[in-house]
Amino acid sequence: MDELTDDQLIAALQSSDQLEVNKALKGLYARYYPVIANFVSQNNGSADDAADIFQDAIIVFYRKIRTGELQLNCSVLTYLYSVCRNLWLYRLRGRKKQVQLNDELESIPIDENSLDVLMADESKEQIASLMARLGEGCQRILRYFYFDRLRMRDIAQRMGLANEQVAKNKKAGCMKKLKTLIGESPGLQQLFR
């Protein structure tokens, strides 16, 4: 793959074209994973830890980009490194190890709220378990709209639907199904009256 600059990587991650996005994700792995793996291994972590931390950092980065919230004043590497550094600190504290990191790169402060997407809680887990009961078509359209933040026009194209309106109707139908499941779910009735 050609070397992408940070701006090109970000533009590819914003794309509505799945191939472009995948290319960028692979580029991120090839370029930056080794740096993170090195950092984690220097700080009492295993290869599995490094893989996991890096995945979480990509999730945070990807969601920031797709929701249009990313305001980057540093390189992509510095951003990813800083997120990984924070995540690794949390885990080490959880394991009650004495925490003193060996840093190899400069890092920037990361707003704790940006890591919230990674945290599981009861309502998230329960809604996710209901999502799993929807058909594949519904899972896809809801993901494209709420997670990947694609426009209805792009969703219609990607799913081979006739037009934007058909996609809108399909999404509304899927939401209705999900809300019915929520209504039938004792654990969630409290939350969603």
The amino acid at 12: A
Minimum CB separation from other proteins for residue 32, in Å?
7
User: For residues 144 and 150, what is the distance between their CA atoms, to the nearest angstrom?
Assistant: 6
For other proteins, give the closer residue by CB, 9 or 96. Answer: 9
For other proteins, give the closer residue by CB, 96 or 155. Answer: 155
3-state secondary structure 68-128: CCCCCCCCHHHHHHHHHHHHHHHHHHHCCCCCCCCCCCCCCCCCHHHHHHHCCCHHHHHHH
List all residues 6 or more positions away from 101 whose beta carbon is below 8 Å from its beta carbon: 43, 85, 88, 89
67 is a contact residue toward other proteins (CB under 8 A): yes
51 is a contact residue toward other proteins (CB under 8 A): yes
162 is a contact residue toward other proteins (CB under 8 A): no
Minimum CB separation from other proteins for residue 109, in Å?
18
Minimum CB separation from other proteins for residue 37, in Å?
6
159 is a contact residue toward other proteins (CB under 8 A): no
Counting Cβ atoms within 10 Å, is residue 1 exposed (0-12), middle (13-18) or buried (19+)? exposed
22 is a contact residue toward other proteins (CB under 8 A): yes
78 is a contact residue toward other proteins (CB under 8 A): yes
159-173: buried (b, 16+ CB within 10 Å) or exposed (e) per residue?
A: eebeeeeebbebbee
163 is a contact residue toward other proteins (CB under 8 A): no
What's the token pair of residue 151?
A: 């426009």
Residues 104 to 143 in contact with other proteins, rule: CB under 8 A? 104-105, 117, 120, 123-128, 131-132, 139, 142-143
Residue 133: what are its φ and ψ, rounded to 5°? -85, -10
Instruction: Enumerate binding residues for other proteins (CB under 8 A).
Output: 1, 3, 22, 25-26, 29-35, 37-39, 41-42, 47, 50-51, 54-55, 58-59, 62-63, 67-69, 75, 77-78, 104-105, 117, 120, 123-128, 131-132, 139, 142-143, 146-149, 178, 182, 191-192
